[in-house]
Amino acid sequence: MLTGDHPGTARAIAAQVGILPAKMEQLSKDVADSMVMTAAQFDKLTDDQIDALPVLPLVIARCAPNTKVRMIEALHRRKKFCAMTGDGVNDSPSLKRADVGIAMGQAGSDVAKDASDIILTDDNFASILAAIEEGRRTFDNIQKFVLHLLAQNIAQAIVLLVGLVFKDQENISIFPLAPVEILWIIMMTSGLPDMGLGFERAAADIMQRPPQSLKSGIFSLEIMIDMVCYGLWMAALCLAAFVLVLYGFDNGQIGFQCNDSIRDGCEVIFRARATCFACLTWFSLFLAWEVMSLRRSFFRMQPGSKHYFTQWARDVWQNRFLFFSAVAGFVLIFPLLYIPVINDVVFKHTGISWEWAIVFISAFLFFAGVEVSLLLFAAQSYDIR
């Protein structure tokens, strides 16, 4: 507490709100005195002497504006984050210097409001907690959106680039994914689930995390590692499915102009392309559910829950937009594969039969791979500084 009030008044209020220990009389006089200082005592200390203190004072009374700024700078030298609340003109320098300045909306001066980052319109300190929780929830959801979107983009880019090695009998590269298939994935199995991730509620432990540095922004090291790993895993499984259908269970003979028509010996390419498309579609939908929690297993997103076997279903159902977006993605792939003209003319693939076994096994491997990565990094958090 940094206040301009009398030391006795400051000590009494600080004890009532829990800043000072409840049983101050049990502490030694030296320790008790070090917890409460006046600005004159604090300002006499040099920066080196302040840094040498084992613990900074809990209460400083009779503060001048410069005293508050010095305390914030002392906290910053100790690698601490600082939020400052105030309502007066003399609070404006410290509100500006703090990591987060919070002004009173009703009782605060205009100068304090201009210098702050957050204004409490109801002058209720409990609103600070609500603001922090909502800010962290929004930040998390943006990271989930970015991770899900860009991991898919990496997978699509790798599949298309590596797919250039497949040549037809005219030495023309064959696309493992057709352009319309890519557009469908971007709009339906990426766009709608991404919107659903924006509606995700706050994580159970969101208020137990330390503050996060804004230097890395959305693209933290963990996000970028996950983005690349998930994208590579998706691409590897899609290409494996494509190659398995093309060469593993067929002679691998590619006809003519297989990017345009199923005729001229291109049926095997169209079946391999359909398998690759089904795999990438389901991977995208599974990934949307996996990133609902950035560092917890899909089956234990609520660590304190006693619903050990059904909590995942409760979490999935809680976000209805994401749930129905994923269900729509799972269901709509069937008419795309089996309705004539739509499948071979528009999407450049055809219906599959035994290839579904490859799709199911690949989907299981993808889901298991993401779960293993979450298990390996379970002790870490996106908020590790």
Rounded alpha-carbon distances, angstroms, from residue 205 to 69, 212, 301: 32, 14, 10
Instruction: Indicate the SS3 state at residue 56.
Output: coil
Banded model confidence at residue 21, pLDDT cuts 50, 70, 90: confident
Rounded alpha-carbon distances, angstroms, from residue 29 to 7, 11, 21, 34: 16, 14, 14, 8
Kindly report, residue by residue over 212-243, the tens digit of the pLDDT: 766 667 888 888 999 999 999 999 999 999 99
Mean pLDDT, residues 2-6 taken together: 88
Among the listed ranges 120-134, 139-153, 277-291, which one has the minimum average pLDDT value? 120-134
pLDDT at 274: 95
Structure tokens at 166: 């497949």
pLDDT at 382: 41
> Which has the higher per-residue pLDDT, 85 or 305?
85
Kindly report, residue by residue over 350-371, the tens digit of the pLDDT: 999 999 999 999 999 999 999 9
Among 34-43, 151-160, 183-192, 303-312, the range of highest mean pLDDT: 151-160
Question: CA torsion, points 234, 237, 240, 244, in degrees to nearest 10?
Answer: -130
Q: In 3-state terms, the chain is what percent helix, strand and coil (to 5)?
A: 60, 5, 35
**pLDDT above 60: residue 381:** no
Q: Where are the beta strands (DSSP E) in the chain?
A: 36-38, 59-61, 83-86, 100-104, 118-120
> Which has the higher per-residue pLDDT, 296 or 157?
157
| Mean predicted lDDT score pLDDT of the chain | 88
Interatomic CA distance for residues 366 and 359, integer angstroms = 10
Complete domains list, the chain, with CATH? 7-128 (3.40.50.1000), 133-376 (1.20.1110.10)
> Which has the higher per-residue pLDDT, 378 or 19?
19
Mean pLDDT, residues 182-201 taken together: 90
